[in-house]
């Protein structure tokens, strides 16, 4: 069954279920209370996000949630502890249409950007590393091929990427250039029959297991940055893993070394040049991240709440203490507000009304709030916070990295500061 048919089948199934069945464990239904016309407050969905989603979006969300809870959650501790990437995950996601879902055609589902955000939220509810793997495949590999590639490149790569048959990675960050990609040192030189690439990239998700590499290089003939598709096995191309990470351990991260790697002219992504091309990819990923980190924080709050209700000190449940309640309520509030913001950005993106600064705002806010509040609710566990079996500590470690990659909190602050004041605060 194709991804689109799967989603439509799920929508049909959902439409024929009772309303209460549509709601997952996280969301409870609302009902009149306290008098005519007054609704009951639902702690699981404080601002009624559910009521703002389409039936198809709810069905897609439920499909993603069921897969993530039944297939990813049972694997996450093993992946975290062993730092071994599970190669079955991307094909499983591909079978459900969760990869490159906003692309129309090429075996992709062609759903809304809001649906893409909901998928990211469910994956990161389990682990940020799993969401990173999927985000790279969808936003940083499939997106540039779809937006900047030739028809032949799209036909060659997108269907297999959508199925998870092949894995892709995105090479922009360099050892000496993270927040300053304009200083890129990786070069591309045109030669007879193609191009020669030289340079290195680092902290590249999926690189050690990648079949294709979307690499950005400065072209020697005009100084402009362009993207190239490299395939595994090329002479001079290596992608060793970065081991002993303290976060994102369920996903695989590596470096890319290009020692005079020769590729054909067909490897060039011809329809994008300059930093605006990779930045468009990053903005797609950043948008998904804004949803994903809220899923991670939701899991932290749910687990901390369950612990606080069960754990007793001074002959009372921890949940009965004012400071514990404040920690939980503060986090719940940021989740509700963050999800509403991401939903609005998604609707604007679907309506072609999105400005890049909007993505910077929700990426900055949601990542910062997720990290801050995950750290706070971790305190509820007391000494048990040190155990990975309670999962919150793993989320905190992951969120520290997610707050950093795809544009640090400070970089997005400066982007928004420039838009607000009209004055650029970057060094150059």
Active-site residue numbers? 406
Alpha-carbon separation of residue 108 from 25, 64, 163, 287 (angstroms): 29, 15, 8, 19
- Calpha distance 391→399 (Å, rounded): 12
Alpha-carbon separation of residue 32 from 8, 19, 36, 40, 47 (angstroms): 32, 15, 7, 6, 15
Residues 6+ apart with CB under 8 A from 12: none
DSSP summary character for residue 190: E
Which backbone phi and psi does 239 adopt, to 5 degrees?
-140, 70
Max Cα-Cα span within the chain:
79
- Calpha distance 334→322 (Å, rounded): 18
Alpha-carbon separation of residue 404 from 203, 277, 390 (angstroms): 12, 21, 24
3-class SS of residue 104: strand
CA 34 to chain centre: 40
On whether the CB atoms of residues 230 and 196 are closer than 8 A, the answer is no
On whether the CB atoms of residues 139 and 169 are closer than 8 A, the answer is no
Question: Does an H or E element contain 106, and which?
Answer: none
β-sheet bridge partners, residue 108: 105
- Calpha distance 426→428 (Å, rounded): 6
On whether the CB atoms of residues 87 and 79 are closer than 8 A, the answer is no
């Amino acid at each position: 069954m194709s991804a689109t048919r799967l989603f439509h089948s799920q929508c049909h199934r959902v439409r024929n279920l009772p309303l209460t069945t549509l709601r997952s464990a996280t969301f409870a239904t609302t009902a009149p209370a306290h008098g005519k016309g007054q609704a009951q407050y639902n702690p699981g969905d404080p601002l009624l996000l559910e009521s703002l989603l389409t039936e198809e979006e709810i069905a897609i969300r439920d499909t993603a949630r069921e897969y993530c809870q039944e297939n990813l959650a049972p694997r996450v501790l093993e992946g975290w502890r062993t730092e071994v990437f599970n190669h079955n995950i991307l094909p499983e996601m591909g079978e459900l249409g969760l990869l490159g879902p906003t692309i129309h055609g090429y075996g992709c589902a062609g759903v809304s950007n809001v649906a893409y955000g909901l998928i990211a939220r469910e994956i990161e509810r389990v682990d940020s590393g799993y969401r990173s793997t999927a985000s790279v495949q969808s936003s940083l590999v499939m997106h540039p091929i779809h937006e900047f590639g030739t028809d032949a490149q799209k036909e060659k790569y997108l269907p297999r990427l959508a199925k998870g048959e092949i894995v892709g990675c995105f090479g922009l960050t360099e050892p000496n250039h993270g927040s300053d990609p304009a200083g890129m040192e990786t070069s591309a030189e045109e030669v007879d029959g193609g191009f020669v690439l030289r340079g290195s990239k680092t902290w590249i998700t999926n690189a050690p297991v990648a079949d294709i590499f979307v690499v950005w290089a400065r072209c020697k003939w005009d100084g402009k940055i362009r993207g190239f598709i490299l395939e595994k096995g090329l002479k001079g191309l290596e992608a060793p893993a970065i081991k002993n990470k303290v976060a994102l351990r369920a996903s695989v991260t590596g470096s890319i070394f290009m020692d005079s790697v020769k590729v054909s002219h067909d490897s060039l992504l011809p329809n994008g040049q300059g930093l605006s091309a990779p930045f468009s990819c990053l903005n797609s990923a950043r948008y998904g991240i804004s949803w994903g980190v809220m899923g991670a924080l939701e899991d932290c709050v749910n687990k901390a709440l369950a612990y606080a209700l069960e754990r007793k000190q001074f002959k009372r449940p921890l949940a009965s203490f004012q400071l514990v309640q404040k920690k939980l309520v503060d986090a719940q509030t940021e989740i509700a507000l963050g999800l509403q913001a991401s939903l609005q950005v998604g609707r604007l993106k679907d309506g072609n009304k999105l400005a890049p600064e909007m993505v910077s705002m929700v990426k900055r806010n949601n990542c910062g709030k997720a990290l801050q509040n995950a750290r706070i609710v971790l305190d509820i566990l007391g000494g048990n916070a040190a155990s990975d079996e309670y999962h919150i500590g793993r989320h905190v470690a992951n969120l520290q990295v997610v707050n950093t990659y795809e544009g640090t909190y400070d970089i997005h602050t400066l982007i928004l500061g420039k838009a607000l004041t009209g004055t650029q605060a970057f060094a150059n």
